[in-house]
Amino acid sequence: MTIIDGKRISAEVKQELKEEVDKIRENGGKIPHLAAVLIGDNGASETYVASKIKSCEQIGFKSSLIRRGSETTEAEVLEIIDSLNKDEDVDGFIVQLPLPDHINVDKVIEAIDPKKDVDGFHPINVGRMAKGLPAYISATPFGVLELLKRYKIETAGKHCVVVGRSQIVGLPMSLLMARNDYPGNCTVTLTHSRTANLKEICQQADILVAALGRPEFIKADMVKEGAVVIDVGITRVKDETKKSGFAIKGDVAFEEVAPKTSFITPVPGGVGLMTVAALMYNTLLASKKAIYS
């Protein structure tokens, strides 16, 4: 059994990006610039945005944070997006989700210029990705693909079961694993909360991607001997023994599942770090105008 080291791989990806940025700087080129919009005071979102900004600093990207309170109106968010779309110095930007309930998330995402949508959430990018055209691939599934690649995990002809059908993780993950490319060429089953016989379906998975947001939901008796298990889940659960008062749990009961697997990602230290690295990669693509000219 191999524990997939997201920390090592994400550091590798970031180092490669840093080397490219150093070259751009030496040649007097434009330094990639990522902006992040953070609305409200969700603790987890603050942590995610802080780690994105920190990664920009490590790599040598320029970053900006546009921060507003939870009372911000939808119209105000749309105005911020409009100004970022027009700002020629900003190569790509993200609007950190979730947004406060009074803001329509689809409207906000559709307002982002697809050329700057480095999260890959805009319908144009999702549609282009589904068609196999060049597109920004949303960061979490992109990060998972990179882990599979760098560990040279065979995917062709395998049965991949994805648990969770969200727009940002499960659905794009299922499309990517089914595409005619490496890593992909899987036979994919996309499951969700209304799936009948979920346990039996999971037991058939050669590659199991858990992205449902239910801590330690996937138990050992749901996993086939020798399966590859990718745990996307990140849930904060109360833990008095921690200084922060909470612990981070994945969707997989790691201790009991790991011995049955060939490869498994831990939480923390797995997919989460790759998500940030993938976002940085998309930002470099945006600054190089590699997807859209």
Would you please indicate which residues are annotated as catalytic (active-site) residues? 52, 96, 119
Enumerate the β-bridge partners of residue 93.
Answer: 35, 117
Token pair recorded at residue 245? 């008062």
Distance CA 269, CA 36 (A): 23
Q: Of 147, 158, 154, 254, which Cα lies nearest the Cα of 210?
A: 254
165 is in an annotated binding site: yes
For the bound state, the minimum distance from the C-beta of residue 163 to ligand NDP, rounded and expressed in Å, comes to: 5
- Is the CB of residue 88 less than 8 Å from the CB of residue 116? no
For the bound state, the minimum distance from the C-beta of residue 79 to ligand NDP, rounded and expressed in Å, comes to: 26
Contacts of 279 (CB under 8 A, 6+ apart): 34, 52, 55, 94, 118, 119, 139
- Is the CB of residue 292 less than 8 Å from the CB of residue 121? no
Q: Which chain residues interact with ligand NDP by CB under 6 A?
A: 140, 163-166, 168-170, 191-195, 198, 211-214, 232-235, 271-272, 275
Preceding peptide of 172 cis, ω within 30°:
no
For the bound state, the minimum distance from the C-beta of residue 76 to ligand NDP, rounded and expressed in Å, comes to: 25
For the bound state, the minimum distance from the C-beta of residue 164 to ligand NDP, rounded and expressed in Å, comes to: 3
Q: Is the dihedral of CA 263, 267, 269, 272 positive or negative?
A: positive
193 is in an annotated binding site: no
Contacts of 102 (CB under 8 A, 6+ apart): 73, 74
For the bound state, the minimum distance from the C-beta of residue 144 to ligand NDP, rounded and expressed in Å, comes to: 9
Residue 85 or 195: the one with the smaller Cβ distance to ligand NDP is: 195
Residue 48 or 93: the one with the smaller Cβ distance to ligand NDP is: 48
Give the phi and the psi of residue 6 in degrees, each rounded to 5.
-65, -30
- Give the 3-state secondary structure of residue 95: strand
Residue 67 or 236: the one with the smaller Cβ distance to ligand NDP is: 236
127 is in an annotated binding site: no
Residue 62 or 210: the one with the smaller Cβ distance to ligand NDP is: 210
Distance CA 177, CA 12 (A): 23
Residue 52 or 62: the one with the smaller Cβ distance to ligand NDP is: 52
- Is the CB of residue 205 less than 8 Å from the CB of residue 213? no
| Beta strand spans in 25-158 (E) | 33-39, 62-68, 92-95
Residue 67 or 214: the one with the smaller Cβ distance to ligand NDP is: 214
Residues in binding site for NADP(+): 164-166, 234
Residues in binding site: 164-166, 234
